[in-house]
Amino acid sequence: MIKLNSSNAISIKTTLKKTVKSLLCYTILPFNKLNKNWLGNKSGVFVLLLHNISIDEIDLCKELLVRLKNKYDFIDVEDFKCLINGEFKASKNHLLLTFDDGLISNYRVATEVLAPLNIKAIFFVPSGFIDAKTPDAQQMYIKKNLCNNNLHIDAMRAMSWENLSELVDRGHTIGSHTKNHLRLSEIYDDILLKEEIISSGNSIETIIGIKVEHFAFPFGDIKSINKKALDIARLRYKYVYSGVRGANRYEINPLAIRRESLNISDGITYNTFVANGGLSLYYWRARRRLNEIAK
């Protein structure tokens, strides 16, 4: 009997995961083509979502974004707002890049990868994380609110308010991601819910001196979004982003924006597949529910 140590087990699990995802691309592709034809070849904007990107993943991230830029046009937030507001219809698929959680790795990617490629992004930040000044306070915040099971949190830390100001000066957009990255659908105290949703945007506006009109739900899946939280968000923000997959077209509700979550470690082929809506077909129920909540 062969005994596997933990590192070997993780390696085998990772290899199997990548193999399954590679096969998934070719399995789903025919169904997506059928679905696209059924939709009448409608085009739109796929909003991409990235989180932490380690130093070891920066080159892979750059390779992925170069590949995507060669295939599609990246747009900035102003063009996206025009599409959402019905001021133009996309004749082909476009991409908009977003980052969640306010991690310093996002600032590093903006400097080393996005700047040379002239790609502008929205950075959704939880204001409480940015306010955590010391390394210990940031580590506690990460463990409690962002990623309880991440093995590499010791290498993760928050951006500073100065970093965010620099991103704005470079043409990027800062959005709210609540104060403490709590699952809003599980908050029943109205005062706490308003504090999480509204105070974050107010803090960003006050400290950086910009207008904040974009908000992203923490976690972003349909179970993390409910009508009470969304009704509060609509009082403060013009555009609300989820983690529900799907294309964004000119008729979409600006309070029900969809995003495609990418994981750099999944590789170029799979992430390219996902970035073009490869998994969107399976989220039609979640999109329908999101639309109902946002009415």
CATH of the domain at 251: 3.20.20.370
Tokens of 245: 């997959």
What's the pLDDT at 127?
98
What residues have CB less than 8 Å from 237, skipping those under 6 apart? 176, 201, 212, 213, 214, 215
Instruction: Specify the number of domains making up the chain.
Output: 1
The Cα–Cα gap between 212 and 158 comes to 19
What residues have CB less than 8 Å from 143, skipping those under 6 apart? 153
Sign of the Cα pseudo-torsion (72, 78, 79, 83, in order): positive
Indicate whether 25 belongs to any domain.
no
The Cα–Cα gap between 15 and 243 comes to 26
At 192, which amino acid appears? L
Indicate whether 265 belongs to any domain.
yes
- Residues 160-186: tens digit of each pLDDT: 999 999 999 999 999 999 999 999 999
pLDDT at 68 over 50: yes
What's the pLDDT at 21?
64
Could you tell me the residue range of the domain that residue 160 belongs to?
A: 42-293
User: Are 12 and 4 a contacting pair, CB within 8 Å?
Assistant: yes
Indicate whether 234 belongs to any domain.
yes
The Cα–Cα gap between 106 and 251 comes to 31
What's the pLDDT at 283?
96
Indicate whether 142 belongs to any domain.
yes
Q: Full-prediction pTM beyond 0.85?
A: yes
Indicate whether 271 belongs to any domain.
yes
Percent of the chain with pLDDT over 70: 83
Tokens of 48: 């991409």
Residue with tokens 């470079």: 170
The Cα–Cα gap between 167 and 190 comes to 33
pLDDT at 10 over 50: no
- Residues 100-150: tens digit of each pLDDT: 999 999 999 999 999 999 999 999 999 999 999 899 999 999 999 987 555
Nearest 10 degrees: CA dihedral of 130, 132, 134, 138? Answer: -90
The Cα–Cα gap between 229 and 226 comes to 6
Indicate whether 46 belongs to any domain.
yes
Tokens of 155: 């290498």
Q: Cβ–Cβ contacts within 10 Å for residue 181, how many?
A: 25
Indicate whether 55 belongs to any domain.
yes
Q: Report the SS3 class of residue 6.
A: helix
What's the pLDDT at 225?
98
At 113, which amino acid appears? V
Indicate whether 225 belongs to any domain.
yes
- Residues 39-58: tens digit of each pLDDT: 434 679 999 999 999 999 99
| Alpha carbon 194 to its chain's center | 22
Kindly provide the b/e burial profile for residues 46-57, where b requires at least 16 CB atoms within 10 angstroms of the residue's own CB.
Answer: bbbbbbbbeeeb
- Residues 209-240: tens digit of each pLDDT: 999 999 999 999 999 999 999 999 999 999 99
Per-residue pLDDT band at 2 (split at 50, 70, 90): very low
